[in-house]
Chain A
Amino acid sequence: MTQINSKIPQGPLADKWTNYKDHQKLVNPANKRRLDIIVVGTGLAGASAAASLAELGFNVLNFCIQDSPRRAHSIAAQGGINAAKNYQNDGDSVYRLFYDTIKGGDYRAREANVYRLAEVSNSIIDQCVAQGVPFAREYGGLLDNRSFGGAQVSRTFYARGQTGQQLLLGAYSALSRQIGLGKVKLYKRYEMVDVVKVDGKARGIIARNLITGKLERFSAHAVVVASGGYVNTFFLSTNAMGSNGSAAWQCYKKGAYFANPCYVQIHPTCIPVHGEFQSKLTLMSESLRNDGRIWVPKKKEDAEAIRAGKLKPTQLKEEDRDYYLERRYPAFGNLVPRDVASRAAKERCDAGFGVNNTGLAVYLDFAEAIGRLGKNVVEARYGNLFQMYEKIVDENPYETPMMIFPALHYAMGGLWVDYELQTSVPGLFAIGEANFSDHGANRLGASALMQGLADGYFVLPYTIQNYLADQIQVPRFSTDLPEFAKAEKDINDRTTRLMNIKGKCSVDSIHKELGHIMWEHVGMARDAEGLKEAIKLLKDLKKEFWTNVRIPGEAVDQNNELEKALRLADFIEIGELMAHDALDRKESCGGHFRTEYQTPEGEALRDDADFSYVSCWEYQGEDKDPVMLKEPLDYEFIVRQQRNYKN
């Protein structure tokens, strides 16, 4: 059986990264000019990697599906970015950030990766400030911090409610500088549709020009995938409409392992669904839980009256409200991690205490904060979020509590990578949300931005050189090689097949059906029976898609429906793999909750003896079951405990 080699450096935890950098191979400046690197994606990870690699002297080809690299979905991250600066003198340290992240991930991440993440977190803040990112500041001119879920310190740096935007624009500005200097060649409105291997190594991609519809070939010495996560499998999520799992999925089909696909995050504070034409869900930043208090009515009859529109939440007396997070988790209160908060909301709604006319919502109330701090302070902290809420829901959150409900938000799972962020295909790297590496079974708030930028600015530009040092004798590849021709033909065939179906169902209607199956059976609470049912339903849905989808227009042309169809074909298969992985993991951990495995209090029941591994799925071919390999997670440095946010 294939052994998984994660290439973790030897030595004490705190020295591993330094040791690695001290001994890795480097590429000298003259040789860097002769090496080309493809970076797919321009989000925090992709843009920061493309810019940093170009600054070092490599030639970079950078691809994005949007009309500008500035629009990648990292831009929508609201709350903040963690770093272990300890500017607040509240006891933070690299070790504590590492520990909180490992614990938050329910002990399903690699110690060495997470420690490295915490270690480089401080440099990210320095870097961003130097780029002109306007982080929030105190009157003394120094940087301000706030708290996020799963931490007892204030280590989150923020730029109003638009931290992702500001960090991405920082990375975009660095990238733009390199594009201007000619070191990065940008391909906008291009979508990677396959990765090309030559002699077992990743040597290029096929990309579809989204304006002309033509397929184009690109070769390079290494390929870096920074294409984000796959939670749009659920149709409704907080991801952008274009966010998709296809680039990563093509890597999987070319031999890269897909790790922990069942670990997806359901974010507790999103605006509830309003109707069947809903196209996406809007996140309300986790930072709101710093001052907002979450509650539902204590009495069922009050909840019923509210649902029927006969009672307003503001009319309910304090003693008739159940602040269930503060009740269940006194130590962390409203700032428990996301998976815990989401499940608690679902538990209350399932029990009949939900609000909104659907019964699928809970309150996030700022009345106490406005009384304590004044409306001005609350407005300064969250003004843009309150405005966003009011525009969507048509209610004023300064006067009546917000309504929120959990929604799909982030994929912890993704392409398996080793310590060097290299997939199981040599020369193919994955960074940011596209990989699986740092968040275990649950990601803490404000850690996605940290990981994306850590990978792109400070990790990949080092580790990729350890690979490229052996490639300096390799001349540039011609894209006329048979491997490129075959990859292009395969995609052409697939596209032609799709266009020729001429069925009755629109792409979106099938995608919505996929979303229903996933939410029902592979969502917040899973069990063996439901997962088996999901696998069966997904098989049927796949058949329905490949026999009954209708795609108008032409294949070789701008064609949004075809773009969506190509992505949906992959989403259905990703959904199947998620269900297989969730079925296999007979324990509850982080975002993966199997109802069969819970404590009497309803908390997740981990099984370290049997499931302390990364599940690495290996593709075996069309319609064949994938094979699962296990990367054991040996905890050398910390002792695993049941996650406790109660005391």
Chain B
Amino acid sequence: MEKMTFDKHTSAQFNAELEGARKHLMEMGGLVEEQIEVAFKSLIDVDTDLAEKAIKMDKNVNKMELMIDKETTQILAKRNPAASDLRFIISVTKTVNDLERIGDEAAKIAKQSLELAESGSGPQGFVELRHIGEKVRQMVQGSLDSFARLDADAALAVMHQDKAVDLEYGDAIRTLVTKMMEDPRTISRALSVMWALRSLERIGDHARNIAESVIYLVKGKDVRHKKLEKVAEQLRK
């Protein structure tokens, strides 16, 4: 398939509407990326101000979600999009949904950092947290980039990363559980860390969903619930 474009419609209005939805989606992506950054930093630095800021940012993300949903609904109603346009609208709708959930998870992480700050001590298990956090942040960035560049290969890379994150998440949980057994006083703190890890892992899953939407958009192939090897094989065809 040739390079996808969303201009060149006979209706210039339609071009503008699609471009509007795309631009807003990218803005929303940027907002969510920043929110993850802030929430994550608040967790590492045990900074309550940053945590508050990350929670507040979720409101803006929600607003963006409503706006983009309205735009896509209107395009669906007015334009009867077909083929690549239809796939674009479907992907945008799904991606918006995933981004909103990522925003929710980021807010949850911020809440955990508030809890940790209250208990007043440096976090254990932060090595894993830092590592996984960095990876998940890259995944979100990668998925949004692949959407912006309509790059199915980049999207596939994100899906691969998700698999690695899932493995590391399992390892981190096991380490934390061992520590909790060794020293029961750390249980409440370790639980907070575990919740934060859980949220990061969920963010990774949503980033993977976005990558799947990108592949559907670009290749017209539904790659959900499929083994990665098979997906890669399908994309090569």
> Is this pair of chains taken from one and the same complex?
no
